[in-house]
């Protein structure tokens, strides 16, 4: 019984068919490589994954045309726009939605996307998360997590996420209500529990940290078991990081990842933001897809070295970043990341929520990437919103009513929302469509 409690997270992956033991062993072998062998490993794996998809994936073979797996610069860059077709058309031979991990992106880049991961690839992704967390004496099996993250409100999805939380030894705090009244309740919950770390959207954690500052509270004084805070999903600005470290009373760690690829970069105890090159290959390209020198800012383009079910090869995730001049192929270091910021959401009642809440609102009508290509939600007044979207067909009145109901459920009743279908949406300098923009001061 004790063993079950200590390894509940591992067990949950195993029961779902993910070979976590095999993945952990593979990762140990990768970590044992010296610098020279690690470089050769990365080069070999990126060539092999291209060769695999050229042979087993009709979609990718059609996309790359005459590219040569041995000539990396001949491999075209893949964007979310290229993937805007039903998932069944993009999965490799031998794989299906029944024997893969199927998921959706948040659409924060403006392009919502369904994708697949084969079982070993998914298990390896989690093994890498476990390894990086261990750098800070955190264990996904045993360290209790205070999770500041969104959650679907429909009953089936809601309870599914709560079950995941239970199996993953975490408790989910709402980011849909970040009012002082709710944050005061959060502090009380911390004082009554033994959380070892906070994890969540940078924006939501910053709102919590600012509340603690106003109330002159250091969270570790209320919860002595706290060891760390991991900020993810949005850019954490340096001033906010300093504030959080002061008010939480623990180190704040920057995590950078995405649903399609897993962990992209993670800060070590030396404050180096180390790129994950165990199962990924990361490049920085200019607007003409030319690899930039170290230290220059450009588009982050990533290759998943193990995903056989779905090609993510030279995949432009829509972010802008810089690799440190100290980077090597065996030890790449992320120096800076631009993008992934979301505004704070203020409402007529005085309620405050994280801007990422809009993901859950817009997701109510995004069932498949082929229906809605892009979307953006803007706030013009406290009670006035507009949904702009690109789609082959206009939203029906029933779909509009679904969005309006989602605003009532996730935010508060009585909000006004209009809809505008467009041919394209305005993009930022980084090439992204910001999912939520507030013009309310």
Domains in the chain, CATH or no CATH each: 2-126+259-338 (3.40.50.12780), 137-250 (3.40.50), 344-438 (3.30.300.30)
Tokens standing for 127?
């093994």
Residue 234 has pLDDT above 80, yes or no: no
Continuous segment of H or E residues that includes residue 337: strand 334-338
Q: Which of 25-39, 59-73, 306-320 has the lowest mean pLDDT?
A: 59-73
CA 101 to CA 312: how far, in whole Å?
A: 15
Higher pLDDT, 46 or 177: 46
Contact 304/312 with Cβ under 8 angstroms?
yes
The residue-averaged pLDDT of 36-55 equals 96
Higher pLDDT, 92 or 3: 92
User: What pTM does this model have?
Assistant: 0.81
Continuous segment of H or E residues that includes residue 264: strand 262-267
Tokens standing for 400?
């509009």
CA 405 to CA 408: how far, in whole Å?
A: 5
The residue-averaged pLDDT of 172-196 equals 93
Read off the pLDDT of residues 318-356 as tens digits, 9 standing for 90 and up. Answer: 888 999 999 999 999 999 887 544 457 889 998 888 776
Kindly provide the residue ranges of all beta strands, DSSP E only, lying in 88-234, ordered along the sequence. 100-104, 114-118, 145-148, 170-173, 197-201, 228-232
Mean pLDDT of the chain: 88
Tokens standing for 337?
């990341």
CA 88 to CA 106: how far, in whole Å?
A: 20
Residue 6 has pLDDT above 70, yes or no: no
Of all residues in the chain, the percent with pLDDT exceeding 70 is 91
Look at the alpha carbons of 421, 422, 427, 433 in this order and tell me if their dihedral is positive or negative: positive
Q: What is the structure's pLDDT at 233?
A: 79
Higher pLDDT, 419 or 152: 419
Q: What is the structure's pLDDT at 429?
A: 46
Residue 210 has pLDDT above 80, yes or no: yes
In 3D, which of 273, 128, 265, 249 has the Cα closest to residue 195?
249
Q: What is the structure's pLDDT at 292?
A: 97
């Amino acid at each position: 019984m004790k063993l079950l409690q200590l390894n509940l997270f591992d067990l949950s992956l195993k029961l779902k068919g993910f070979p976590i033991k095999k993945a952990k062993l593979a990762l140990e072998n990768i970590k044992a490589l010296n610098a020279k062998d690690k470089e050769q490993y990365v080069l070999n794996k990126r060539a092999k994954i291209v060769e695999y998809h050229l042979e087993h994936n009709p979609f990718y073979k059609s996309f790359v045309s005459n590219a040569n797996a041995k000539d990396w610069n001949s491999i075209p860059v893949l964007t979310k726009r290229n993937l805007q077709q039903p998932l069944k058309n993009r999965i490799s031979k031998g794989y299906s939605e029944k024997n893969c991990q199927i998921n959706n992106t948040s659409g924060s880049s403006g392009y919502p996307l369904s994708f697949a991961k084969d079982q070993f690839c998914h298990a390896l992704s989690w093994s890498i998360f476990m390894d990086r967390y261990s750098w800070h004496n955190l264990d996904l099996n045993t360290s209790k997590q205070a999770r500041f993250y969104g959650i679907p409100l429909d009953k089936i999805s809601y309870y599914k996420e709560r079950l995941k939380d239970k199996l993953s030894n975490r408790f989910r705090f709402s980011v849909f209500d970040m009012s002082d009244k709710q944050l005061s309740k959060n502090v009380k919950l911390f004082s009554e529990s033994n959380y070892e770390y906070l994890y969540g959207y940078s924006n939501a954690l910053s709102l919590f940290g600012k509340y603690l500052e106003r109330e002159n509270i250091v969270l570790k004084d209320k919860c002595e078991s706290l060891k760390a805070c991991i900020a993810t999903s949005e850019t954490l600005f340096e001033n906010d990081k300093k504030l959080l470290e002061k008010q939480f009373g623990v180190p704040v760690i920057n995590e950078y990842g995405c649903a399609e690829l897993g962990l992209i970069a993670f800060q070590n105890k030396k404050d180096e933001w180390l790129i994950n090159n165990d199962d990924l290959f990361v490049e920085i390209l200019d607007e003409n897809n030319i690899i930039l020198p170290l230290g220059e800012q450009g588009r982050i383009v990533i290759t998943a070295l193990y995903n056989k079910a779905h090609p993510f090869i030279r995949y432009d995730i829509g972010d802008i970043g810089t690799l440190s001049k100290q980077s090597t192929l065996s030890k790449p270091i992320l120096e800076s990341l631009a993008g992934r910021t979301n505004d704070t959401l203020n409402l007529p009642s005085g309620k405050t929520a994280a801007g990422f809440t809009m993901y859950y609102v817009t997701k109510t009508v995004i069932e498949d990437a082929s229906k809605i290509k892009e979307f953006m939600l803007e706030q013009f007044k406290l009670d006035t919103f507009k949904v702009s979207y690109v789609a082959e067909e206009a939203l029906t009145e029933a779909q509009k009513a679904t969005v309006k109901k989602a605003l009532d459920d996730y935010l508060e009743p009585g909000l006004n929302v209009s809809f505008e279908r467009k041919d394209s949406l305005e993009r930022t300098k980084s090439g992204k469509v910001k999912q939520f923009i507030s013009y309310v001061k």
